[in-house]
Amino acid sequence: QVDISQEIKDIEAVAVRLAREAGALILAKSGRATQVDRKASRSDLVTEVDKACEHLIQSEVKAVFPQHHWLGEETFTEAQLDRLGDGPKGADYTWLVDPIDGTLNFIGGLPFASVSIAVARGSTLQVGVVYNPFIDELFTARKGEGAYLNGESISALPRETELEDAIVTLGFNSKPERRKLMLQEISKVGPHCRAIRALGSAALHISYIAAGRVGCFFEHGLKPWDIAAAWLILEEAGGYVTQMNGEPLPLVGGSILATNGGKVHERMIEILN
Protein backbone atom coordinates (compact mmCIF):
# COMPACT_ATOMS: atom_id res chain seq x y z
CA GLN A 1 0.00 0.00 0.00
CA VAL A 2 1.58 3.23 -1.19
CA ASP A 3 0.89 6.41 0.76
CA ILE A 4 -0.92 8.58 -1.75
CA SER A 5 -2.03 11.27 0.67
CA GLN A 6 0.88 13.62 -0.08
CA GLU A 7 0.29 13.14 -3.80
CA ILE A 8 -3.38 14.07 -3.33
CA LYS A 9 -2.47 17.14 -1.28
CA ASP A 10 -0.12 18.33 -4.02
CA ILE A 11 -2.85 17.83 -6.62
CA GLU A 12 -5.33 19.79 -4.50
CA ALA A 13 -2.89 22.69 -4.14
CA VAL A 14 -2.49 22.91 -7.93
CA ALA A 15 -6.26 22.65 -8.45
CA VAL A 16 -6.86 25.49 -5.98
CA ARG A 17 -4.26 27.72 -7.62
CA LEU A 18 -5.71 27.10 -11.09
CA ALA A 19 -9.30 27.64 -9.94
CA ARG A 20 -8.26 31.02 -8.55
CA GLU A 21 -6.38 31.95 -11.74
CA ALA A 22 -9.34 31.02 -13.97
CA GLY A 23 -11.64 32.80 -11.51
CA ALA A 24 -9.69 36.04 -11.93
CA LEU A 25 -10.24 35.80 -15.68
CA ILE A 26 -13.98 35.22 -15.19
CA LEU A 27 -14.22 38.21 -12.86
CA ALA A 28 -12.38 40.48 -15.30
CA LYS A 29 -14.54 39.45 -18.27
CA SER A 30 -17.99 38.99 -16.72
CA GLY A 31 -20.62 40.47 -19.05
CA ARG A 32 -17.84 41.40 -21.47
CA ALA A 33 -17.27 38.34 -23.60
CA THR A 34 -16.71 39.33 -27.21
CA GLN A 35 -17.05 35.97 -28.93
CA VAL A 36 -20.25 34.11 -28.08
CA ASP A 37 -20.72 30.92 -30.10
CA ARG A 38 -23.60 28.50 -30.27
CA LYS A 39 -22.97 24.84 -29.45
CA ALA A 40 -25.94 22.42 -29.64
CA SER A 41 -28.64 25.13 -29.48
CA ARG A 42 -29.36 28.84 -28.93
CA SER A 43 -29.26 28.31 -25.17
CA ASP A 44 -26.09 26.21 -25.21
CA LEU A 45 -23.28 28.75 -25.63
CA VAL A 46 -19.53 29.09 -25.26
CA THR A 47 -17.30 32.17 -25.17
CA GLU A 48 -13.64 32.88 -25.71
CA VAL A 49 -13.33 33.11 -21.91
CA ASP A 50 -14.64 29.54 -21.34
CA LYS A 51 -11.99 28.37 -23.78
CA ALA A 52 -9.23 30.55 -22.31
CA CYS A 53 -9.99 29.33 -18.77
CA GLU A 54 -9.93 25.69 -19.85
CA HIS A 55 -6.70 26.23 -21.78
CA LEU A 56 -5.08 27.91 -18.78
CA ILE A 57 -5.98 25.02 -16.47
CA GLN A 58 -5.22 22.24 -18.96
CA SER A 59 -1.82 23.55 -20.02
CA GLU A 60 -0.67 23.90 -16.41
CA VAL A 61 -1.92 20.41 -15.50
CA LYS A 62 -0.07 19.05 -18.51
CA ALA A 63 3.12 20.79 -17.39
CA VAL A 64 2.94 19.71 -13.73
CA PHE A 65 1.35 16.24 -14.11
CA PRO A 66 2.12 15.13 -17.69
CA GLN A 67 0.86 11.59 -17.09
CA HIS A 68 -2.61 12.66 -15.86
CA HIS A 69 -5.73 12.26 -18.03
CA TRP A 70 -8.00 15.17 -18.95
CA LEU A 71 -11.76 15.65 -19.40
CA GLY A 72 -12.96 19.25 -19.82
CA GLU A 73 -16.26 20.63 -21.10
CA GLU A 74 -14.84 22.65 -23.97
CA THR A 75 -12.29 20.08 -25.21
CA PHE A 76 -13.86 16.70 -24.47
CA THR A 77 -13.98 13.83 -26.95
CA GLU A 78 -16.42 10.92 -26.94
CA ALA A 79 -13.43 8.62 -26.40
CA GLN A 80 -12.58 10.49 -23.17
CA LEU A 81 -16.19 10.23 -21.97
CA ASP A 82 -16.28 6.51 -22.83
CA ARG A 83 -13.07 5.95 -20.90
CA LEU A 84 -14.66 7.51 -17.82
CA GLY A 85 -17.84 5.49 -18.39
CA ASP A 86 -15.80 2.30 -18.37
CA GLY A 87 -14.65 3.18 -14.85
CA PRO A 88 -10.90 3.78 -15.03
CA LYS A 89 -9.06 1.39 -12.74
CA GLY A 90 -5.84 1.52 -10.83
CA ALA A 91 -3.72 4.53 -10.07
CA ASP A 92 -4.41 6.69 -13.13
CA TYR A 93 -5.48 10.24 -12.32
CA THR A 94 -8.18 12.03 -14.33
CA TRP A 95 -9.00 15.74 -14.13
CA LEU A 96 -12.70 16.60 -14.62
CA VAL A 97 -12.93 20.32 -15.32
CA ASP A 98 -15.68 22.84 -16.03
CA PRO A 99 -13.88 26.13 -16.74
CA ILE A 100 -17.05 28.22 -16.24
CA ASP A 101 -20.08 26.61 -14.62
CA GLY A 102 -22.77 29.18 -15.30
CA THR A 103 -21.76 30.39 -18.76
CA LEU A 104 -25.15 32.00 -19.46
CA ASN A 105 -24.89 34.03 -16.24
CA PHE A 106 -21.35 34.98 -17.20
CA ILE A 107 -22.43 36.15 -20.66
CA GLY A 108 -25.24 38.24 -19.19
CA GLY A 109 -23.05 39.69 -16.44
CA LEU A 110 -25.03 38.00 -13.66
CA PRO A 111 -22.44 37.59 -10.88
CA PHE A 112 -23.04 33.88 -10.20
CA ALA A 113 -20.69 31.34 -11.75
CA SER A 114 -17.86 29.07 -10.72
CA VAL A 115 -14.80 27.12 -11.74
CA SER A 116 -15.20 23.40 -11.03
CA ILE A 117 -12.17 21.10 -10.80
CA ALA A 118 -12.26 17.47 -9.68
CA VAL A 119 -9.55 14.84 -9.75
CA ALA A 120 -10.28 11.11 -9.65
CA ARG A 121 -7.78 8.31 -8.98
CA GLY A 122 -9.07 5.34 -10.91
CA SER A 123 -12.85 5.73 -10.55
CA THR A 124 -12.70 7.34 -7.11
CA LEU A 125 -13.00 11.11 -6.66
CA GLN A 126 -10.09 12.28 -4.52
CA VAL A 127 -10.09 16.09 -4.90
CA GLY A 128 -12.92 18.59 -5.41
CA VAL A 129 -12.52 22.35 -5.81
CA VAL A 130 -15.32 24.80 -6.64
CA TYR A 131 -14.49 28.51 -6.75
CA ASN A 132 -16.89 31.45 -7.02
CA PRO A 133 -14.70 34.42 -7.94
CA PHE A 134 -17.48 37.00 -7.49
CA ILE A 135 -17.52 36.64 -3.72
CA ASP A 136 -14.19 34.83 -3.36
CA GLU A 137 -15.68 31.61 -2.00
CA LEU A 138 -13.54 28.50 -2.34
CA PHE A 139 -15.10 25.11 -1.57
CA THR A 140 -12.61 22.25 -1.24
CA ALA A 141 -12.51 18.58 -0.27
CA ARG A 142 -10.15 15.64 -0.28
CA LYS A 143 -11.63 12.17 0.11
CA GLY A 144 -11.91 11.25 3.76
CA GLU A 145 -10.69 14.66 4.97
CA GLY A 146 -13.90 16.69 5.23
CA ALA A 147 -15.24 19.68 3.30
CA TYR A 148 -14.15 23.29 3.64
CA LEU A 149 -15.26 26.78 2.66
CA ASN A 150 -12.32 29.20 2.60
CA GLY A 151 -10.49 26.84 4.95
CA GLU A 152 -13.30 26.50 7.52
CA SER A 153 -14.97 23.12 8.00
CA ILE A 154 -18.54 22.95 6.63
CA SER A 155 -21.39 20.47 6.99
CA ALA A 156 -24.76 19.89 5.37
CA LEU A 157 -28.06 20.46 7.20
CA PRO A 158 -28.92 17.84 9.86
CA ARG A 159 -30.29 14.55 8.48
CA GLU A 160 -33.60 14.98 10.33
CA THR A 161 -34.39 18.24 8.48
CA GLU A 162 -37.80 17.95 6.79
CA LEU A 163 -38.31 18.94 3.15
CA GLU A 164 -40.77 21.56 4.45
CA ASP A 165 -37.81 23.29 6.18
CA ALA A 166 -35.40 23.08 3.24
CA ILE A 167 -34.71 25.29 0.22
CA VAL A 168 -34.74 23.24 -2.98
CA THR A 169 -32.52 24.29 -5.88
CA LEU A 170 -32.64 23.03 -9.43
CA GLY A 171 -31.40 23.60 -12.94
CA PHE A 172 -33.08 23.82 -16.31
CA ASN A 173 -31.29 21.77 -18.92
CA SER A 174 -31.08 23.51 -22.29
CA LYS A 175 -33.04 20.71 -24.01
CA PRO A 176 -36.77 21.69 -24.32
CA GLU A 177 -38.13 18.25 -23.41
CA ARG A 178 -36.01 18.17 -20.25
CA ARG A 179 -37.28 21.63 -19.31
CA LYS A 180 -40.87 20.44 -19.64
CA LEU A 181 -40.11 17.48 -17.41
CA MET A 182 -38.51 19.78 -14.83
CA LEU A 183 -41.59 22.04 -14.83
CA GLN A 184 -43.78 19.02 -14.03
CA GLU A 185 -41.40 18.04 -11.24
CA ILE A 186 -41.44 21.55 -9.81
CA SER A 187 -45.22 21.40 -9.60
CA LYS A 188 -44.87 18.21 -7.52
CA VAL A 189 -42.11 19.44 -5.19
CA GLY A 190 -43.24 23.06 -4.91
CA PRO A 191 -46.04 22.59 -2.38
CA HIS A 192 -43.76 20.68 0.03
CA CYS A 193 -40.56 22.73 0.35
CA ARG A 194 -39.57 26.03 1.96
CA ALA A 195 -38.58 27.73 -1.32
CA ILE A 196 -37.32 27.03 -4.83
CA ARG A 197 -34.23 28.59 -6.42
CA ALA A 198 -32.57 28.10 -9.81
CA LEU A 199 -29.39 30.17 -9.94
CA GLY A 200 -27.57 28.70 -12.95
CA SER A 201 -24.50 26.90 -11.61
CA ALA A 202 -24.90 23.22 -10.68
CA ALA A 203 -21.49 23.18 -8.98
CA LEU A 204 -22.44 26.07 -6.69
CA HIS A 205 -25.89 24.68 -5.92
CA ILE A 206 -24.36 21.38 -4.78
CA SER A 207 -21.61 23.17 -2.83
CA TYR A 208 -24.32 25.22 -1.10
CA ILE A 209 -25.92 21.99 0.16
CA ALA A 210 -22.51 21.08 1.59
CA ALA A 211 -22.42 24.43 3.40
CA GLY A 212 -25.94 23.95 4.84
CA ARG A 213 -27.33 26.93 2.91
CA VAL A 214 -29.89 24.86 0.99
CA GLY A 215 -31.13 21.29 1.34
CA CYS A 216 -31.44 19.93 -2.17
CA PHE A 217 -30.49 20.19 -5.84
CA PHE A 218 -31.83 18.28 -8.82
CA GLU A 219 -31.33 18.57 -12.56
CA HIS A 220 -31.49 16.40 -15.67
CA GLY A 221 -28.68 15.55 -18.06
CA LEU A 222 -25.63 16.81 -16.21
CA LYS A 223 -22.12 15.87 -17.26
CA PRO A 224 -19.16 14.78 -15.12
CA TRP A 225 -17.49 18.21 -15.21
CA ASP A 226 -20.68 19.88 -13.86
CA ILE A 227 -20.94 17.71 -10.77
CA ALA A 228 -17.77 15.78 -9.90
CA ALA A 229 -16.04 18.41 -7.74
CA ALA A 230 -19.12 19.46 -5.78
CA TRP A 231 -20.18 15.81 -5.43
CA LEU A 232 -17.06 15.01 -3.38
CA ILE A 233 -17.42 18.26 -1.41
CA LEU A 234 -21.02 17.33 -0.56
CA GLU A 235 -20.19 13.74 0.43
CA GLU A 236 -17.43 15.01 2.69
CA ALA A 237 -19.95 17.41 4.26
CA GLY A 238 -22.34 14.55 5.08
CA GLY A 239 -24.68 14.74 2.07
CA TYR A 240 -25.86 12.23 -0.55
CA VAL A 241 -25.82 12.09 -4.33
CA THR A 242 -27.93 9.61 -6.33
CA GLN A 243 -29.99 9.52 -9.48
CA MET A 244 -33.51 10.90 -9.13
CA ASN A 245 -34.85 7.35 -8.68
CA GLY A 246 -32.45 6.73 -5.79
CA GLU A 247 -30.05 4.50 -7.71
CA PRO A 248 -26.31 5.21 -7.65
CA LEU A 249 -25.24 7.98 -10.03
CA PRO A 250 -22.36 6.99 -12.32
CA LEU A 251 -19.36 9.31 -12.58
CA VAL A 252 -20.37 10.11 -16.17
CA GLY A 253 -23.42 11.90 -14.78
CA GLY A 254 -27.09 11.97 -15.78
CA SER A 255 -30.10 13.11 -13.76
CA ILE A 256 -28.87 14.03 -10.31
CA LEU A 257 -30.50 14.29 -6.91
CA ALA A 258 -28.18 15.83 -4.32
CA THR A 259 -29.27 16.52 -0.75
CA ASN A 260 -28.11 16.86 2.85
CA GLY A 261 -29.09 13.17 3.22
CA GLY A 262 -31.74 11.63 5.44
CA LYS A 263 -35.36 12.73 5.25
CA VAL A 264 -35.04 15.25 2.39
CA HIS A 265 -33.46 12.64 0.14
CA GLU A 266 -36.11 9.99 0.85
CA ARG A 267 -38.96 12.45 0.43
CA MET A 268 -37.63 13.83 -2.87
CA ILE A 269 -37.37 10.30 -4.32
CA GLU A 270 -40.92 9.60 -3.15
CA ILE A 271 -42.25 12.80 -4.73
CA LEU A 272 -40.33 12.52 -8.01
CA ASN A 273 -41.11 8.85 -8.68
> What are the residues binding ligand 2AM (CB under 6 A)?
44, 73, 98, 101-103, 171-174, 200-202, 219, 221-223, 226
State the DSSP code for 170: E
Q: Of these partners, Ca ion, ligand 2AM, none, which one is at the site of residue 201 (CB under 5 to 8 Å by kind)?
A: ligand 2AM
Buried b / exposed e along 25-45 (16+ C-beta atoms within 10 A): bbeebbeebeeeeeeeeeeeb
Task: Tell me if 226 is assigned to a ligand binding site.
Answer: yes
Closer residue to Ca ion in complex, CB, 226/236: 226
To Ca ion, the closest distance from the beta carbon of 254 in angstroms equals 14
Residues near Ca ion (CB under 5 A) are: 73, 98, 100-101, 103, 226
Closer residue to ligand 2AM in complex, CB, 226/235: 226
Nearest 5°: phi and psi at 243? -75, 170
Task: Tell me if 100 is assigned to a ligand binding site.
Answer: yes
Cα 101 to Cα 70, 81, 155, 201, 209: the distances in Å are: 17, 18, 22, 5, 17
Q: Of these partners, ligand 2AM, Ca ion, none, which one is at the site of residue 221 (CB under 5 to 8 Å by kind)?
A: ligand 2AM
Task: Tell me if 136 is assigned to a ligand binding site.
Answer: no
Give me the amino acid identity at 90.
G
Residues whose CB is less than 8 angstroms from the CB of residue 208 and which lie 6 or more positions away in sequence, other chains included: 169, 214, 217
State the DSSP code for 215: S
Task: Tell me if 165 is assigned to a ligand binding site.
Answer: no
To ligand 2AM, the closest distance from the beta carbon of 98 in angstroms equals 5
CB 160 within 8 A of CB 266: no
Closer residue to Ca ion in complex, CB, 98/236: 98
Of the CA atoms within 13 Å of residue 60, those in its CB half-sphere come to 17
To ligand 2AM, the closest distance from the beta carbon of 108 in angstroms equals 12
To Ca ion, the closest distance from the beta carbon of 89 in angstroms equals 27
To ligand 2AM, the closest distance from the beta carbon of 7 in angstroms equals 28
Which residues line the annotated binding site for Mg(2+)? 73, 98, 100-101, 226
